[in-house]
Amino acid sequence: MNERMPSPRPMALFGHRGARGLLPENTLEGFASIAALDLTGAEFDVGLTADGVAVVHHDPRLNPDIARDADGAWLAPDAAPLLRERTLADLGSFDVGRLRPGSDYAARYPEQTPADGARIPTLDAVIAALSGRDLLIEVKTFPDRPGLTVPPERIAQAVIACLNRHDALDRAVLFAFDWRVLRAAAAAPALRRCCLTEPETVSAGPLWLDGCDLGAFGGNLPRAVAATGAVCWAPFHATLEEDDVREAHALGLAVLPWTVNAPEAFDRMIRLGVDGMISDRPDLARAAIGRAGLQVAGPGFVAAMAR
């Protein structure tokens, strides 16, 4: 079956973890690039500290490939503390502004500009820094390793409270691979929800999908996503096919694949007619969108989603 021609409507573009191909991930320094690149918004990850503060960091533990202690020493992988074990004040002593030299991570992002002195920010600070931009907020919980984080309900409640403080519910979407988070967030009907999927979580079935049996949907992921009440589906880009996009759109779902970084992947997603892309290199994604004769959607993309 031939891939369809691109839609003439603007395409949303979100910097992944800020824009980690360009600047340190999940830092205020990185989020400053979102406005500079004139993106729709940013995608980032949230966990909860020992004293109940929502902070923006990808891993349940401090990442030893980006974290240095107060003496400037890189953390040993077997000594990286869990976020849930440290207070916000404790976390403030760690520098997350540079990739560890010689690491595989540094090799993946050779063009990242360091920002020494960057700290793990609070969710409140990130929402304020991204004023006016759309927010894709991924809650990190692990049903296969529940001890890594606090329960999904607690993190969802903390995120909702932050968004309410900033009157930002209408420009945010809550993302999760662990679909229990999305059920917990349904307590705030104004907050849009998005189901993240990747082959590993889908193959594990009900464990990650909040008890969902895909067999009941004929193995059709978009139908299972729509049944949760989510308004958006975020699949791993390499797994996405034309029929998936068509089915999702027929169900009223926006499609936002992650993490789209390579030229051929940009072009393929555009041909498939996705609604937007999440990318570590939004500068390159923007160029690809322009070459296709499309524009990047401005902030307000989220508010226009169905509820």
N- to C-terminal Cα separation, the chain? 32
262 near 239, Cβ under 8 Å? no
Look at residue 150 and tell me whether its pLDDT is greater than 90: yes
**What pLDDT sits at residue 3?**
52
Q: Residue 1 — pLDDT band, cuts 50, 70, 90?
A: very low
pLDDT digits (tens, 9 = 90+) for 243-284: 999 999 999 999 999 999 999 999 999 999 999 999 999 999
pLDDT digits (tens, 9 = 90+) for 166-218: 999 999 999 999 999 999 999 999 999 999 999 999 999 899 999 999 999 99
**What pLDDT sits at residue 205?**
86
Nearest 5°: the CA angle 244, 284, 202 is 30
**What pLDDT sits at residue 25?**
98
pLDDT digits (tens, 9 = 90+) for 17-27: 999 999 999 99
**What pLDDT sits at residue 6?**
45
Residue 71: count other Cβ atoms within 10 Å of its Cβ. Answer: 6
